[in-house]
Chain A
Amino acid sequence: MAYSKLTNAQIAWRAAQDLEDGAYVNLGIGFPEMIAKFQPEGRDVIYHTENGVLGFGKAPKEGEEDWDLINAGKKAITLNPGASFFHHADSFSMVRGGHLDLAVLGAYQVSRNGDLANWRVGTKGVPAVGGAMDLVHGAKRVAVVTDHVTKDGKPKLVETCSFPLTGVGCVTRVYTSLAVVDIVDGHFVLREKLAGLTLEELQGVTGAPLHLEGDPADLTVPDLD
């Protein structure tokens, strides 16, 4: 059957549908940040950033940046009413202390027991970890947004990660360009897949068995530019 994989914007849109009203959320630098753009109307979400802000809003207009007011990606931000500032130790207390409802990160690989590799692919160059190893611990849900396969077609959902780990057994849900997969008791459980994609085709590009708990729903996403 014919299908076209989701764009990053469409993956972000799908992840945004699961943002809960009143949730405290950390979106990782880069791709995960896009989720905020698709926050559903009528839901109030409070965004956390590691450098010490809760309740930040959209980027300011060009020329109106205050560079003392930035997010963890060093981009200029604005504040929503009710925002607060705090130092770095309080910020990571919010992370590890179980106070965030959701953290969303990117991934090089996710293993079937929820191990995440997302900070380093080899031993060359300058290593940098930032807050990734902290963010995978403590949030009630730790989700990943990613293409289902690498640029050269290899599975990113795997039996065991071959890249250096960010955290062990930490991911609870993966939103990919083909499917929505939960991690339950050490297994991938398929929740949604593109309607034009057969289960066999999906399994063929997934590096560990996809378990079913009932029929998977269709992964339906609007056209976005």
Chain B
Amino acid sequence: MDKTLASPNAAVADIPDGARLMIGGFGGSGAPIELIHALIDRFRETGSPGNLTVINNNAGNGAIGIAAMIKAGMVGKMVCSFPRSSNAEAFNERYLAGEIELELIPQGTLAERIRAAGAGIPAFYTPTSFGTELAEGKPVEEFDGKMYVRERWLKADYALVKAETGDTVGNLTYRLAARNFNPLMAMAADRTVAQVSQLVPPGGVDPETVVTPGIFVDGLVEVSEPQQEEVLVRAGVVY
């Protein structure tokens, strides 16, 4: 078995219009910039994929990554917990103009809904958001004297994740706090592709240190010395 893909372009070549797309990362850490930019290249050349639903904690920063996807007009809907970052003008402009839809989810509920999808659990109860406007219309139930809100799993067609080291059968490790949503999203999509800073043969990742087991990963592409979102934003890079 070898899940290696030839290039970032090859990794995103079959994502269709209207796909639900999970993209790993939190703020500037752990974002698979090269995979996102390959997707933007494809959209600019072919007009596809458009009308994407993007699931990420934020709604893009600066003029690269998810923000550049929004600017390019590929995103119909964002599903996130915190779209109002300091450099989120790309999303803000389209949202306030009514050109992009937003599903706002508390951060821990977003993480758990993704985890539940990966674990085959269609719904769960959480205390988070009980009694708030974000729980309106959701079933509630009392357990041991406390009220909880029922939340559904959150699945995707594709997940794009960034990892530090991967072996060719898909086992992944992450770098520092760049782990964040990546292992959860890898579990929750029909097809998961990872960009890794180092691609090694099977046995090159110590089984004791594997964070995402290869069963959750369908394809990997090596991007050595990947770009870092926060560094790009601070440098004012426009993609």
Contacts and interface: CB of A to CB of B under 8 A. Distances in A.
Interface stretch (B47-55, B68-76, B108-116): B108-116
A69 interface: yes
Interface stretch (A123-131, A151-159, A184-192): A123-131
Contacts of A66: 176
B9 interface: no
Contacts of B228: 67-68
Contact of A134 (B86, B108, B181): B108
Interface stretch (A6-14, A91-99, A207-215, A216-224): A91-99
Nearest to A73: B27
B106 A129 contact: yes
Interface in B27-42: 27-30
Nearest to B110: A88
Nearest to B29: A68
Interface string A130-170: 11111001100000000000000000000000001111100
Interface residues of B, number: 55
Interface residues of A, number: 37
Contacts of B109: 133-134
A67 B230 contact: yes
Interface in A50-85: 50-53, 66-70, 74, 85
A199 interface: no
B108 A96 contact: yes
Given A52-B180, A68-B228, A166-B132, A127 B84 contact: yes
A128 B106 CA distance: 9
Given A88-B111, A92-B107, A128 B82 contact: yes
Given A66-B176, A126-B83, A165-B131, 13 more contacts: A51-B177, A67-B230, A68-B176, A70-B26, A74-B28, A88-B57, A91-B111, A115-B131, A129-B82, A134-B108, A168-B130, A168-B132, A168-B147
22 contacts: A51-B26, A67-B229, A68-B30, A70-B27, A70-B177, A85-B176, A85-B179, A87-B179, A88-B184, A89-B184, A92-B107, A92-B112, A125-B84, A126-B96, A127-B83, A127-B102, A127-B104, A129-B81, A130-B107, A131-B106, A134-B108, A165-B132
Interface of A: 50-53, 66-70, 74, 85-89, 91-92, 95-96, 115, 125-134, 137-138, 164-168
Interface of B: 26-30, 57, 81-86, 88, 91-92, 95-96, 102, 104-112, 114-115, 126-134, 147, 174-184, 211, 228-231
Q: Lowest 10 A-B CB distances belong to which pairs?
A: A92-B108, A134-B108, A128-B84, A168-B131, A67-B230, A88-B111, A131-B107, A74-B27, A137-B127, A133-B106
